[in-house]
Amino acid sequence: MVAPPPKRATYDDILNAPDNVVAEIVDGELHLSPRPANAHGSAATILGEELGPPFRRGRGGPGGWIFIDEPELHLDTDVLVPDLAGWRRGRAPEVREGAYLTVAPDWVCEVLSPSTRKFDRASKLPIYARVGVGHAWLLDPVDRTLEVLRLDHGHWLTLATYVDNAVVRAEPFDAIELDLGALWAP
């Protein structure tokens, strides 16, 4: 006897997930991850604070971007929640009432943690590539690293890996210097 195929996860599964987890759907399967630890959340918050003035507001940088923390993205049949996402203003979705967005971002940042690093790399990055996200950053507050990726003909190209307290210019935000040491601050 052949076992029936597993039930595909639905948005109701996400809505019914416990409040203390991040719920995502990848290839029809529900994935539940613990809420981020403090170092994870702090690194993401500080990165957003660093990018916002020059790229969202144009203070000390070119402007032209919209950033959202932990947006729920409905990308085809997948539902993903990156730690940060950015859209160039010309293609940014309207931020309105509602729980999710359907326009793929131009840039995502996944803050890696021991419980999500494999999922972020092996499951989420291929989806971001498939829907045309142009840039991805993998930020690891434990190892104190930033990996900068660019989509090239449907595949991720690693442009650089920066460590510790490096001061960097990283695509697509290479118009400014970013002090990584600020991201690891308590």
pLDDT exceeds cutoff 80 at 185: no
- What is the reported pLDDT for 40? 85
Confidence bin at 15 (pLDDT 50/70/90): very high
Provide the pLDDT confidence category of residue 44 given band limits of 50, 70 and 90: very high
pLDDT-based confidence at 141, cuts 50/70/90?
Answer: very high
Pairing of strands 135-140, 145-152: antiparallel
- Say how far apart CA 81 and CA 99 lie, in whole Å: 11
Tell me the pLDDT band of 38, cut-offs 50, 70 and 90.
confident
Q: For the ranges 18-32, 36-50, 108-122, which has the lowest average pLDDT?
A: 36-50
Rounded Cα distance, 122 and 180, in Å: 25
Compute the average pLDDT of residues 13-31: 94
**For the chain, what is the mean pLDDT?**
92
Residue 142's pLDDT is what? 93
Whether residue 52 contacts residue 62, with contact meaning beta carbons closer than 8 Å, is answered with no
Q: Among candidates 108, 114, 163, 168, which has minimal Cα distance to 138?
A: 108
Q: How far apart are CA 118 and CA 108, in angstroms?
A: 16
Q: pLDDT per residue over 161-176, tens digit each?
A: 999 999 999 999 999 9
Compute the distance between CA of residue 36 and CA of residue 20 in angstroms, rounded to an integer: 10
What residue ranges define each of the domains in the chain, with the CATH number in brackets? 36-184 (3.90.1570.10)
Pair 41, 95: CB distance under 8 Å? no
| pLDDT in the model for residue 132 | 97
